[in-house]
Chains A and B, each alone.
Chain A
Amino acid sequence: MIADILVLACLAVGTFFNALGIVGLLRFPDVYTRMHATTKMTTFGSVFTALAVIIYGGASYLGSTDPQYVILSVHTLIAAVALAFTNALGSHAIARGAHRSGIKPTPAVVDRLEEVQP
C-alpha cells in the first residue's frame, strides 16, 4: 500500500517535470535558456520515473521473492545513473559548440565569454 503511493507520487513528479521541461523548450527565447529547461527538468523527471520503477521492483520482490525483480531494479539504477551523467555532459558540449559557432544569448544582461573569445 505504501509502495503503491510512493510509485504513484514518483510517476506524478516525473511526468510533471518532464512536461514543464517540454513547455520551457517551446517557450523560452534562445538556445541557452531552452537548454536550462530541457537539461535540468527532463533529467530530473526521467530519474524520478526510473525511481518509480526501482521502488516497484523492490516492492514486488518483497511480495513474491522472484529474483527477476531485483535484476529489474539494478538495471534501471544503472540506466538512471548513465542518463544523469551523459545529459549534463551533452548539454555542456552543445552550449560550448553553440557559442563557438557565433550564436549570441539574445536577451542578455552581460556576456563575459565574448570579451575573451571573439
Chain B
Amino acid sequence: MIAFFVTFLLVFCIYLLLTAGSGTIGFWSASELIAGAGLSIVVAGITRKFLCRSNNYRMANPLRLLLIPIYLLGPFLVEVTKANVDVAGRVITGRIRPGIIRVSSDLKTDLGIFILANSITLTPGTITVDIDEKTHDLFIHNINIAPGDEQKATVPARELFSIANIPAWIRRIAE
C-alpha cells in the first residue's frame, strides 16, 4: 500500500510538471488534473512492485532527496568537467593506456551501487563494464591506468576520483 502511494505521488508529480501552464487552478486546468490523477492510479497499480522492490523507505525522507541535487551540482559537476577536459585532451593527442580493473566499493545497498556505477561512467575516464553481484565489486574500463595499478587485485573506489570524495557523498545519500 505504501509502495502504491509512493509510486502514485512520483508519477503524478511528473505529470503535473509536464502539463504546467495549461489552466487557471494553480497552473493547471481541471481536465488535466483529473486525467493526470486517473492515469497515475492506473500506472501506479501496474508498476508498484518495481519502484519499491527492497521494501525500504529510507529514500522517502525529503532531506535525503534534497541531498541529491546538492551532490549533482556540487562535487559531481566539478568531477564531470574535469573528466571531460581530460578525455578531450586524450582525443586530440591520442595518448591512452586502457584496461579493465576491479574496484572495491564497500557500499551495501542497491541504490548506492547504482549511483556509484553511474557516477563512475560519467566521471573520471572510466566506464562500468560489469558488477560482481555477491561482493558488490565493480569491473571498470579505465582509459588511462595509473602506473602500478595493473598489479593490484582491487583498487579502492576513492582513488579513482581526484578532487571530491564521491564514495563518501554517495554513502551519505544512500545508506
Contact = CB atoms under 8 A, between A and B. Distances in A.
A and B touch in the complex (CB under 8 A): yes
Interface of A: 17, 20-21, 23-24, 27-28, 30, 32-33, 35-37, 39-41, 43-44, 67-68, 70-71, 74-75, 78, 84-85, 88-89, 91-92, 95-96, 99, 105, 107-114, 116-117
The contact size tier of chain B is 35 or more
A114 B129 CA distance: 11
Interface string B51-88: 00000000000000000000000000000110110011
B20 interface: yes
A78 B122 CA distance: 19
Interface in B124-151: 125, 127-130, 132, 139, 141, 143, 145, 150
A42 B9 CA distance: 32
B130 A117 contact: yes
B84 A112 contact: no
A32 B127 contact: yes
A41 B14 CA distance: 28
A35 B100 contact: no
- Mostly, the B contact residues are mixed
Given A44-B84, A71-B20, A113 B91 contact: no
A17 B127 contact: no
B166 interface: no
A74 B139 contact: no
Given A28-B91, A36-B87, A88-B121, 15 more contacts: A20-B91, A23-B91, A32-B98, A36-B125, A36-B143, A37-B87, A39-B121, A41-B87, A78-B17, A91-B127, A107-B96, A107-B98, A110-B99, A110-B150, A112-B101
A24 B132 CA distance: 30
A40 B129 contact: no
B69 to A, nearest CB: 10
Contacts of A74: 17, 20
B35 interface: no
A114 B99 CA distance: 11
B141 A40 contact: no
B18 interface: yes
A6 B17 CA distance: 26
Contacts of A107: 96, 98
